[in-house]
Amino acid sequence: MLEIKIKTFQELTTIELYNLLQLRSEVFVVEQECVYQDVDNKDQKALHILGIKNKKIVAYTRLFKPGDYFNLSSIGRVVVAENERQHKYGYDIMEASIKAIEENYNTNEIKISAQCYLKRFYNNLNFKEIGEEYLEDGIPHIGMLYSKK
């Protein structure tokens, strides 16, 4: 079972911050072989969604209110540890993220920049593609929109 914690940057402990940055680096830099600046001065504005199992962060997202990243609220840095993906924690962390946006930002319109190979995953969460594919840090991405309208 995945325990979900929602924290501002200021509420994160140094251990939590270290562990979430380590997880992001393991997946986005090492596993995906993508050299990019993960520490981007945006974490301070974000709401951090931690998926914890056995006292270890195994899933994570960061959320932004409208205007802090895109014109709409957004979810980014969606990540699940490679050895935990069979448990479908990606769905758990995304559902918690959508709910947190609705509760904290009073909106249900969400824009994401999704890696193209994950389109079906996001479609299953009611995100729809918008616009054309583009490269972000050398990886094909597409804009996607979620709305309960």
Q: What is the pLDDT of residue 148?
A: 81
Structural domain includes residue 147: no
**Own/partner long-range contacts of 118-123 (Cβ < 8 Å, ≥24 apart):** 119/144, 121/90
Structural domain includes residue 142: no
Residue type, 66: P
pLDDT digits (tens, 9 = 90+) for 12-69: 999 999 999 999 999 999 999 999 899 999 999 999 999 999 999 999 999 999 999 9
pLDDT digits (tens, 9 = 90+) for 85-114: 999 999 999 999 999 999 999 999 999 999
What DSSP character marks residue 55?
Answer: T
pLDDT digits (tens, 9 = 90+) for 62-88: 999 999 999 999 999 999 999 999 999
- CA–chain centroid gap for 73, Å, is 12
The residues pairing with 4 across neighbouring beta strands, listed in sequence order, are 51
Q: What is the pTM of this model?
A: 0.96
- Alpha-carbon distances, residue 148 vs 55, 58, 108, 127 (angstroms): 34, 28, 6, 10
Q: What is the pLDDT of residue 1?
A: 86
The domain in which residue 73 lies consists of 3-107
Structural domain includes residue 141: no
Provide the number of structural domains found in the chain. 1
Structural domain includes residue 119: no
- Alpha-carbon distances, residue 11 vs 8, 17, 20 (angstroms): 5, 10, 13
Write the DSSP assignment of 97-121 as a string of letters.
HHHHHHHHHS---EEEEEEGGGHHH
CATH of the domain at 28: 3.40.630.30
Structural domain includes residue 121: no
Structural domain includes residue 81: yes
Structural domain includes residue 131: no
